[in-house]
Amino acid sequence: MILSVVRTACVLGLLTTSAMAADSYTLDNEHTVVLYALNHLGFSTSRGIFRDVTGQLVLDDRMPATSRLEVTVKTASIDTFDEGRDKAVRGAQFLDVEKYPDMHFVSTKIERIGETAARVTGDLTLHGVTHPLTLDVALVKEGKHPMTGAQRVGFSARGTLKRSEFGILGFLPAVGDDVTITIDSEFGASS
């Protein structure tokens, strides 16, 4: 369900050998999607999106392992595509958005596993609990934006977390514990 946050984290290790025009990037919320999916009673996969995501990325093309990603997701921005479910998931049995308004991811390790692939691990704080989350990240594209000329970089990422590890226990085990996070994100060079 999260991360999210997470999708962005993936971005860090995916530099190619070309020189970057900027070291610091800001997440483009309009071109970022943080999706979650989990099993619903064994009958279907329940999916949703987080719509309010911010983040900063610092890329070092000479030493990608020293790059850093920090992302914040507003938990109340969850959209499950159903008003009643939105209310339930925002409530105390799940995200408890009144008490825990933010989900936060900070990268701690980046392992390059190919020219355009990386494994990004970071600390995810969700529901007042912090656990490591690892994302498999793929570089989609880096270069100049065709309309603005500004430097941009795009990534896709995927990871899985157990919501029970974060104290989110509503309707377990009927509603799945494993939550798959899929992130597609663009970052623009910071001024």
The residue extents of the domains of the chain are 4-189
Partners of residue 22 on adjacent β-strands: none
Q: Cα separation of 178 and 163, whole Å?
A: 7
Burial of 32 (0-12, 13-18, 19+ CB in 10 A): buried
Percentage of the chain exceeding pLDDT 70: 88
* Helix spans in the chain (H): 4-9, 83-90
Question: 74-77: which pairs have CB atoms within 8 A and are 24 or more residues apart?
Answer: 74/50, 74/101, 74/102, 74/103, 75/50, 75/100, 75/101, 75/102, 75/103, 76/52, 76/101, 77/50, 77/51, 77/52, 77/53
pLDDT band at 37 (very low <50, low <70, confident <90, very high): very high
Of the candidates 104, 131, 109, the residue with the CA atom closest to the CA atom of residue 120 = 109
pLDDT band at 24 (very low <50, low <70, confident <90, very high): very high
Instruction: Give the pLDDT of residue 59.
Output: 84
Instruction: Give the pLDDT of residue 2.
Output: 40
Stretch 111-136: mean pLDDT: 95
Interacting residues of 145 by C-beta distance below 8 A, sequence separation 6+: 151, 152, 188
Higher-confidence residue of 61 and 51: namely 51
Q: pTM of the entire structure?
A: 0.85
Contact 153, 25 (CB under 8 A): yes
Percentage of the chain exceeding pLDDT 90: 76
Stretch 18-38: mean pLDDT: 81
CA distances in angstroms from 94 to 71, 76, 81, 97, 119, listed in the order given: 21, 11, 16, 9, 28
pLDDT band at 9 (very low <50, low <70, confident <90, very high): very low
Contact 139, 61 (CB under 8 A): no
What's the pLDDT tens digit per position in 136-177? 999 999 999 999 989 999 999 999 999 999 999 999 999 999
Output the average pLDDT for the chain: 88
Is the pLDDT at 10 greater than 60, yes or no?
no
Q: Cα separation of 187 and 26, whole Å?
A: 5
Fold exhibited by the domain 4-189:
Lipocalin (2.40.128)
DSSP 17-45: SSPPS-SEEEE-GGG-EEEEEEEETTTEE
Higher-confidence residue of 128 and 67: namely 128
What's the pLDDT tens digit per position in 54-86? 999 998 877 778 889 999 999 999 999 999 999
- DSSP 8-state class, residue 124: E
Higher-confidence residue of 76 and 12: namely 76
